[in-house]
């Protein structure tokens, strides 16, 4: 199966490591027109966004902790402000020891 995103915009939670990061990279390689990646660690998130942008997909990182009930709405708003829409949401955030 070949995934072709043809410029679609995706918001991927938990995308600074593990499965979420792999999903974000796959979306970038399959033609996503924009990605909003998110996680708790800004330094790691900025590095992921820079790497995915080098693949040709405009990518922005927004730090967020999804334990905060307000975070999902803020992430959606940030994605819409940056890219004008959200075509796909991937919730790959997981609970880890802090």
Half-sphere CA count of 92, side-chain side, radius 13 A = 23
Mean pLDDT calculated for residue range 54-75: 96
Q: How far is CA 55 from the centre of its chain?
A: 14
Determine the Cα–Cα distance for residues 76 and 20; give it in Å rounded to an integer: 17
pLDDT at 90: 97
* Confidence tier at 33 by pLDDT (50, 70, 90): very high
| CB contact burial 58-77 (16+ within 10 A = b; e otherwise) | bbbbbbbebeeeebbeebee
Mean pLDDT calculated for residue range 75-92: 97
- What are the beta bridge partners of residue 38? 62
**Residue whose structure tokens are 């991937």:** 90
Q: Are 7 and 33 in contact (CB under 8 A)?
A: yes
pLDDT at 98: 56
Question: Can you give the pTM of this predicted structure?
Answer: 0.91
pLDDT at 4: 81
Integer-rounded Cα Rg, in Å, for the chain is 12
Strand pairing category for 59-63 and 34-39: parallel
What the chain holds in terms of domains, given with CATH numbers, is 9-91 (3.40.50.720)
């Amino acid at each position: 199966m070949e995934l072709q995103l043809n410029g679609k915009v995706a918001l991927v939670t938990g995308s600074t490591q593990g499965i979420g990061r792999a999903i974000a990279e796959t979306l970038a390689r399959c033609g996503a027109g924009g990605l909003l990646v998110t996680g708790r660690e800004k330094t790691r998130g900025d590095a992921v966004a820079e790497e995915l942008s080098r693949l040709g997909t405009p990518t922005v990182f927004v730090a967020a902790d999804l334990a905060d009930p307000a975070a999902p709405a803020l992430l959606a708003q940030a994605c819409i402000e940056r890219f004008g829409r959200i075509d796909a949401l991937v919730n790959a955030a997981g609970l880890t020891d802090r």
